[in-house]
Amino acid sequence: MTFNKALIAAGVASLLAASTAQADNLVIATVNNGDMIRMQGLTSDFTDKTGHTVEWVTLEENVLRQRVTTDITTKGGAFDIMTIGMYETPIWGKNGWLVPMDDLSEEYDVDDILPAMAGGLSYEGTLYAAPFYGESSMIMYRTDLMEAAGMEMPEAPTWTFIKDAAAAMTDRDNEINGVCLRGKAGWGEGGAFITAMSNSFGARWFDEGWNAQFDTEEWANTINFFKDMMDASGPSGYATNGFNENLSLFNQGKCGMWIDATVAASFVTNPKDSTVADSVGFALAPDNGLGKRSNWLWAWALGIPAGTQKEAAAKQFIEWATSTDYIELVAANEGWANVPPGARTSLYENPNYKDVPFAKMTLDSILSADPNDSTVKPSPYVGVQFAAIPEFAGIATEVSQEFSAAYAGQQTVAEALAKAQAITNDAMEAAGYK
Amino acid sequence: MARAVTGQRKMINTLAAWSVGLLIFFPILWTILTSFKSEAQAIANPPVFFLFDWTLENYSAVQERSNYSKFLWNSIIIAGGSTLLGVLIAVPAAWSMAFVPGKRTKDILLWMLSTKMLPAVGVLYPIYLGFVKAGLLDTRVGLVIVMMLINLPIIVWMLYTYFREIPSEILEAARMDGATLRDEIIHVLTPMAIPGIASTLLLNFILAWNEAFWTLNLTAAKAAPLTAFIASYSSPEGLFFAKLSAASTMAIAPILILGWFSQKQLVRGLTFGAVK
């Protein structure tokens, strides 16, 4: 071997060694849902492109929330990337627990992220997590039952219409409930629904001085309307029904209408799982003529815990997973109906995606929710179905338990509201807001 | 006549025992049945029991998505390691409490048991921080230590109960024959308490296998056992009950088989000293 050849061989060997040394193994904590599982199946594309490998830790949503919160508050370093929601991101960003996403590459096109999503995942204008997919809520209804009831669903109905339609569609003898809604306790279950609904009734959680507002007429109207409608036209035991219970009822043809997450659209229109897949229509979540609709806004996003040793590789992964190229990759492998929705503007300009039946309604729903201006009267918090303060999850869980007890008839609506008022004011006082 | 009454009573008792047994076993049976259904059949109302299109697609989907053998291996190491370590520590501890009790032995035993009354989440942060500092997060060694500590009070209590049944005169005789303390515990006490030690091992292996709070909170990708495997199939947004059932069946199958083959020892050990 000549000296030159030996030099070149040594150079190549050291380059290979260097590239091997730079290849990281990323540990990613995520939730178990269709879009995330699909991403896990396509991870080899990322590894082929970058050399980095990925290990997934998939957990149920509430377990994940507890697990990543423990890890980030103790700087445990168990994860290089965390799947977090719109509730945690601004709070954790404010606390300096997340790496800011302010240096994403030009090709990534950060301006393509839907403004509502970018706004909800930012703190003081800095993005702290990139949205993997976004969702709002909307009405899914049975077109055949609506026709049989002699009614026609407007594109943007009112609550009064929904109540009337629910009564007209209800057929107890044939186990058909006019409307199925979440009544289950939990801030992310029934708590999220009733908060979004209360926005359209002019209610709010707090006034500008962080005083609880459950003693107002708006909240009484919200809960009374919900309970009256569900008692008359909802399924039995609705006080314990959440997303999955209602999905199950709808897919078995036992709900005339279901108002819930836009992500459910792909489930109820899938003939493999749904017995009513060919007769589902969509409409915007109802309003009450007060200028605010009752739809929420949520995103599952990917964030990097501050202090990770693998920040560069983690950012590479996030750019890959939330890019337009990834959307194309999913479309090529699984079809356009299965691409992660609600994160990028360009997706809704794509002619291929326009054929997906629920695409337009999903976008319209997302665009009609503004986390910075979600209530009729002014409020001091950011968030549509939540208030982005650390105390909210605990308070809202307790409050939703009181509401569920009222739905179940264990106490009156007035009693539940009085307890909610006391719980919230006590907690806010203890936390130093007042 | 007396025989007829006895026979009738026996039949009623047998029927009652089978009914209670089936009632207790029903959730497991239902999980196993659901694992062979499609997702649509899994949520069917009224539910279908046996007359459905049996399928293995959930098992293949779970196998395709998860590395089952990695989770299984972690479960075996964590449950087995913590149980063995716990028994090694508990045998001398239980010996001293049973045969050379002090003034405070009863208090110590109660204090040990009282640690089981504290909600686990109450000490999550101190233990998590300790794990971070010691570099034990997401390691099997860390989990073995924690699981051993969690189950140690039960192991000590069980062994203490078994040892109390052994006449102390036998140990005194061994001592008079010149047996050292080590000989006394290893060659005299342990062989006599084999049924009790075996049932303690089995019960604590099962407890460690099924423990979910610490195994979910102290692991990530490397040391996660089968409890994390099950948790990865649970979802509040999406109906994946059939796949969740398949994952659950795969996770409980080893322990069900172990329990089935060792039920005689388990019952013998658990009822040891119960009837005098």
Q: Tell me the per-residue pLDDT of A174-230, one tens digit each, with 9 for 90 and over.
A: 999 999 999 999 999 999 999 999 999 999 999 999 999 999 999 999 999 999 999
The superfamily in CATH containing domain A137-296+384-430 is Periplasmic binding protein-like II (3.40.190.10)
The interface predicted TM-score (ipTM) is: 0.81
Do A252 and B45 make contact, defined as CB atoms within 8 angstroms?
A: yes
Strands, DSSP E only, in A46-144?
53-59, 81-85, 122-123, 126-127, 130-142
Q: What is the overall mean pLDDT for chain B?
A: 90
Q: Does B46 sit behind a cis peptide bond, omega within 30 degrees of 0 on the bond before it?
A: yes
- DSSP label at B184? I
Provide the pLDDT for residue B5: 65
% helix, strand, coil for chain B, step of 5: 75, 0, 25
Q: What is the overall mean pLDDT for chain A?
A: 92
Provide the pLDDT for residue A253: 95
SS3 of A215, please? coil
Indicate the residue of A79, A251, A273 with minimum beta-carbon distance to B220: A79
Position B260 confidence tier, pLDDT thresholds 50, 70, 90 = confident
Do B228 and A275 make contact, defined as CB atoms within 8 angstroms?
A: no
Provide the pLDDT for residue A19: 45
d(CA A139, CA A358): 11
Do B40 and A188 make contact, defined as CB atoms within 8 angstroms?
A: no
Contacting residues for B174 by C-beta, under 8 A, at least 6 apart: B183, B184, B187, B188
d(CA B111, CA B87): 19
The percentage of chain A sitting over the pLDDT mark of 70, rounded to a whole number, equals 95
Q: What is the pLDDT of residues B169-200, one digit of tens each?
A: 888 898 888 889 888 888 888 888 888 888 89
Contact A71, A305 (CB under 8 A): yes
Q: What is the pLDDT of residues B227-257, one digit of tens each?
A: 999 999 988 777 789 999 999 999 999 999 9
Q: What is the pLDDT of residues B47-79, one digit of tens each?
A: 888 889 999 999 999 999 899 999 999 999 999
Provide the pLDDT for residue B4: 58
Indicate the residue of A34, A55, A274 with minimum beta-carbon distance to B238: A34
Nearest CA in chain A to B234: A60
d(CA A4, CA B238): 62
Do B137 and A79 make contact, defined as CB atoms within 8 angstroms?
A: no
Indicate the residue of B132, B221, B231 with minimum beta-carbon distance to A74: B132
**What is the enclosing helix (H) or strand (E) of B28?**
helix B2-34
Provide the pLDDT for residue A6: 54
Nearest CA in chain B to A270: B40
**Parallel/antiparallel/unpaired status of strands A126-127 and A122-123:** antiparallel
Contacts of A34 in chain B (CB under 8 A): 238
Indicate the residue of A55, A76, A188 with minimum beta-carbon distance to B137: A76
Average pLDDT over residues A11-35: 71
CATH fold for the domain made of A23-135+297-359: D-Maltodextrin-Binding Protein; domain 2 (3.40.190)
In 10 A of CB A394, how many CB atoms?
13
Entry pTM? 0.84
The superfamily in CATH containing domain B66-232 is MetI-like (1.10.3720.10)
**Parallel/antiparallel/unpaired status of strands A81-85 and A126-127:** unpaired
d(CA B93, CA B105): 11
Contact A31, A59 (CB under 8 A): yes
Contacts of B138 in chain A (CB under 8 A): 78
**Least Cα separation, residue A71 to chain B (angstroms):** 8
Provide the pLDDT for residue B3: 55
Q: What is the pLDDT of residues B152-168, one digit of tens each?
A: 999 999 999 889 888 88
Q: Tokens 């836009």 belong to which residue? A: A262
Provide the pLDDT for residue A32: 86
Provide the pLDDT for residue A296: 94
Same fold, A23-135+297-359 and A137-296+384-430: yes
| Residue-range domain boundaries for chain A | 23-135+297-359, 137-296+384-430
d(CA B83, CA B93): 15
Q: How far is CA A396 from the centre of its chain?
A: 17
Q: Is the pLDDT of residue A9 over 70?
A: no
